Structure 1
């Protein structure tokens, strides 16, 4: 399931490496990490071996690790600077720069838990990438990830459509497409109100998520001002439709 307009991994890494103010602006990302952490604690075994994909600056690590005695936790991220900031918060935790869509972990697998909070939506082929990760699970292991789905930034997209344009943000899959893969999926909506359209865009850039999808053409300034006014007339609310996916270890044979 290759997403239309998928953003090349190198561009994603550069954008997140430049997100020096991530912690100050990633309000929803912290909330989603807390939600995922609660679910992880319901399935975690004692002293598990854990792989975290797309660790960023460590929101999920910080929400889970202190509660998971004896865990061997491996933080990974495609962006070296993000990984460095995350590791600095948790001395003794191991880390590796890695593109989670194509895991390269010789000698590390299997893992009892594979976790990821709001990172796998950047995969070019979500299903294939998640199945590769699931192959790294130990017997009885679980993978729990959160990802953005259709409906995210709905008001922003609607403001664009009303002016005859398409927004540059990625196209996220419908929830039903994830359920058809045979995985357990639940959803939750998160909302963040902004002062203006410009504030919304600044916040996205500050967390490294402002990179437009491939093939997106810049919108003329006049049209962009009209789009901004429509978005602000609706309250300048950014909605995040988030799916929490639970994937067991694939059956052998």
Structure 2
């Protein structure tokens, strides 16, 4: 389940530069609230929680105060994002961490590993989740949300009509996720923009504007036609989101 994504350094730099993240991350806040409900429903008493890709703290803020005496470790690959997240939730611990290749030396096993809209940046989702699952305590559980196939469908359709591929990553199909043995539920979120330019600016503002590896710039004339087609459909960005639940006993596979 490998994906053509930007380098880890480019991802970290893009998110560190997203100074206006909170103002533009409308769907990200909604997805965090959805995931938080599930976390609260399954969390044991006094859980040890590892959060991967905490960003500015949407998920931490939505779930941590509702748990019974949690030991919550916020992590992110982008130091500035982590700093903003910890400023929002000073009671949680923090650590700069590449969640796909986690170095958790000195940490005991976790009852819960959680992540909201971060693991889609993994180069190999199944392998990355398997490495994280190795840090679960017996009976532990991992709950993560990720973007799946169908995300930004209108944007991709407008590109294909002009013979081009959009620069956003290719996300996995829900059926491929289910084949791993994970429990997968899905939900659709939408955000309407004033124009195609507004949509692109919003992606950049939340650090998600870095194109996938190998993407080539589109000629200006074709880009204008793509923008008009996207706007004709209402300039709606559709986010198809999967909530994946993994147990500590999952053995995992490296690809599907």
Instruction: State the TM-score, normalized to the length of structure 1.
Output: 0.98
Instruction: Give the Cα separation in 1 of the matches to 2:17 and 2:33.
Output: 24
Separation (CA, whole Å) in 1 of partners of 2:72 and 2:166? 38
Equivalent residues, number: 251
Matches within 5 A, 1:134-213: 134-213=133-212
> Post-superposition shift, 1:42?
1.1
User: CA–CA distance in 2 between the matches of 1:179 and 1:108?
Assistant: 30
Which residue number corresponds to residue 217 of structure 2? Answer: 218
Q: Secondary structure at the match of 1:66?
A: helix
Deviations 1:12-34 (A, max 9, x none): 00000000000000000000000
Aligned to 1:69, the other structure's residue is in SS state coil
What SS is found at the alignment partner of 1:169? coil
- Contact preservation (8 Å) 1:74, 1:93: yes
Equivalent residue number for residue 46 of structure 2: 47
**1:100 aligned to 2:99?**
yes
Aligned residues of 1:135 and 1:250 also touching (Cα < 8 A): no
**Alpha-carbon distance in structure 1 between the residues aligned to 2:108 and 2:182:** 22
Q: CA deviation at 1:250?
A: 2.2
Structure 1 position 6, deviation (Å): 1.9
Q: After TM superposition, give the deviation of residue 251 of structure 1 in Å.
A: 5.7
The CA deviation at 1:92 is 2.8
Q: Which runs of 5+ in 2 are unaligned?
A: 252-256
Using a 3 Å threshold, how does the CA distance of structure 1 residues 19 and 248 change in structure 2: closer, same or farther? same
Following TM superposition, the consecutive aligned residue runs of length 4 or more in structure 1 with deviations greater than 2 angstroms are none
Structure 2 residue 63 is matched with structure 1 residue 64: yes
Match of 1:10, SS state, is helix
Aligned partners of 1:96, 1:19: CA distance in 2, in Å? 19
The CA deviation at 1:2 is 1.4
Residue 83 of structure 1: aligned partner = 82
Give the TM-score, by structure 2 length.
0.97
- CA displacement at 1:171 relative to structure 2: 0.5
Q: How do residues 239-250 of structure 1 correspond to structure 2 at under 5 angstroms?
A: 239-250=238-249
SS in structure 2 of the partner of residue 39 of structure 1: helix
